[in-house]
Amino acid sequence: MHSPRPPGKALIVMLAVMCAAPAGSADLPKLESISMDETESHTRVVDDGASASADDLFGLDETESSDNERPEKSGLEGFIQLESAYTYRSPTHLSKQRTILELGTDGEISDNMSWKLSGRADYDAVFELNNFYSSRVRDNREFDAQIYEAYLDASAGNLDFRLGRQNIIWGEMVGLFVADVVSAKDLRQFVAQDFDLIRIPQWAARAEYFKSDYHAEFIWLPVMTYNEIGKPGDDFYPLGTNLTQNPNVVIKKTEEPSNELSNSAYGMRVSTLKAGWDVSGFYYRSVDVEPSFFSEKVAAPDPTLIVTPEHKKIHQLGTTMAKDFGEVVLKGEAVFTKDRWFVTTDPSDVDGLTQQDILDYIVGLEHITPENTLLNFQVFQRLYIDHEPDNLLDEFETGVSLFSKLEINSTVDAELLLISQLNRTDWMARPKVTWAFSTNWYLQLGADVFGGQEVSVFGRFEDSSRVYANVRYTF
C-alpha cells in the first residue's frame, strides 16, 4: 500500500499561475474572454474634424447606447443553440452536449424611457450520456437558468441612465480584455466559447454624460456578481485536472464577501475623441471578480493542503486608446491594479499569498485586406512592480496573439486565433469555420487546442483539448 502523497511543488506552482492574474489567465492580462465575435473585431472610423453622434464617437452598440432611436419591436427575440464537444486527449470522452435558450423582449414607456428583459437557460445532457464527471461537476454544470439582462433606461438632455442587470463593457482590444474590468465571466469552459456566452452581467446603476467630443460614465454596483469558475474535476477547473485528484489536496467552496455596502463597487470612465485619437481613462474600485487561492498546510493526521478560493478588494486605474491610420488601426490598453494577491514560496507566509501591484498593457495592430480578410496582431505584457524574489513568475511576463478571419464566400468564413506566452512553452490555437446556411441559422465546426507546460496558463488544459460543433437559430 502506498502512503498518501503530500502536496508537492507542482501544486504551489499551479497556485502561482492561478493567483498571478484574474479569470484563469495567470500571466496573461485579463485573458478570460477570448472570442473573435464580429462585434469584437469591428473598428469604428470617424473622420477627423467631423461631427459625430454619441454612437459614432464612442462605438456604442445596441446594448450600450440609448434605446430612443431604435426601431420598434414586438414579441420575443433570442436564440437556441446546440453545442457538442469531444475531448480527444486521453482519456477521450464526450465533454459537452449542451442546449442553450435565450429569450428577451424590450419596450418603451415614454419618449425618454425604455426597458429590456432577457433570460437564459441551458441544459447539458452529457451527464446522462456518460459517467465521466463527478456529481459535484454535474450539479454545477448540468442545468442553469438566470436573468440575463433586466434594466430600465432613461434620458434627460445630455444625461443617460441605466438601472438594473446589464453588461458594462470597457475596452478596445480584439478579445483580450485588459481594460474590461467590470463584467464577470463564465469560465466553466475557460475561454473556449462564444463571446456572448462568456459575459455575465452585473447589477448596476450607470449614468452617462455626453457633451461635444466628451463622454463621462459613472457606475455603482451595489451587489457584485463574480466569475463562475466551475468545480474541481471539471475539464477547465483553474487548478487543472491532475492536481485536483490528489487526495491530500482539499479544495473548499469559494468564499464570497457579504452584500454589505462596503463591498459594493464603483468607478468612473472619461472618454474623448481628438484629432482621430479615441482615448479614455478610468478608475474602478471593486471586489475582484476572480478569486485568489489561499492555502493552509495541515500536518495531521496526514500532510494536507487546504485551498480556499476567496474574493478580495482591489483598485484599478486604466486607459485605452485607438487610432485609425487608414489601412491599419492601432489600439492599446494599460491597467494598473493595486492590492492583488499572488502566490509566494516564502516558508514564513502562512496562507501562501502576498499582495503585490501589477501593470498590464497591450498594443495591437489591425488590418483588413482588399480581399476582406481581417488580420490582427497583439503584444501584451505584465509587469510585477517591486517584484518579490519569492514570486515564482518573472518580473516581466510577455505574450503575443495572432488572429485572422477570412471570408471564403457570402455564407462561409474561417477564423484562426493563436496565443502564446514567450517566457515559457505555453500556447492555445482555436481554428473555426462558420457556415450561415440560412438567414437565421449558422453551423460552426472548430477545435480548442492547448499545449505547453503542465502548470502554465494553457498547458494545464492540454488534456482538455477538444473538437466541437455548434448550431444556432436566431429569432
Residue 435 lies in a domain: no
pLDDT of residue 11: 52
Residue range 187-243, pLDDT digits in tens: 999 988 887 899 999 999 999 999 989 999 999 999 999 999 999 999 999 987 666
User: Worst-scoring range by mean pLDDT, 119-128, 139-148, 221-230, 243-252?
Assistant: 243-252
Alpha-carbon gap, residue 171 to 280, rounded angstroms = 9
Alpha-carbon gap, residue 34 to 27, rounded angstroms = 15
Judged against a pLDDT cut of 90, whether residue 417 lies above it is answered with yes
Alpha-carbon gap, residue 38 to 73, rounded angstroms = 23
**Confidence bin at 22 (pLDDT 50/70/90):** very low
> What's the pTM?
0.84
User: Worst-scoring range by mean pLDDT, 50-59, 67-76, 329-338?
Assistant: 50-59
When divided into structural domains, the chain yields a total of 1
Q: Where in the sequence is the domain holding 254, given as residue range(s)?
A: 9-355
pLDDT of residue 160: 98
Alpha-carbon gap, residue 382 to 363, rounded angstroms = 12
More confident residue, 14 or 386: 386
Residue range 431-463, pLDDT digits in tens: 999 999 999 999 999 999 999 988 888 999 999
Residue 264 lies in a domain: yes
**Confidence bin at 347 (pLDDT 50/70/90):** confident
Residue 426 lies in a domain: no
Residue 424 lies in a domain: no
For all residues of the chain together, what is the average pLDDT?
A: 85
Average pLDDT over residues 275-286: 96
pLDDT of residue 74: 55
Average pLDDT over residues 65-73: 47
How far is residue 21 from each of residues 234, 304, 305, 430, measured CA to CA in Å? Answer: 20, 25, 21, 22
Element (DSSP H or E) covering residue 139:
helix 135-141
- Burial bucket for residue 82 (CB in 10 Å: 0-12, 13-18, 19+): middle
Residue 182 lies in a domain: yes
Residue 449 lies in a domain: no
pLDDT above 90 covers a percentage of the chain that reads 67
Assess contact for 66 and 225: CB atoms under 8 A.
Answer: no
Residue 373 lies in a domain: no
Residue 229 lies in a domain: yes
pLDDT of residue 242: 65
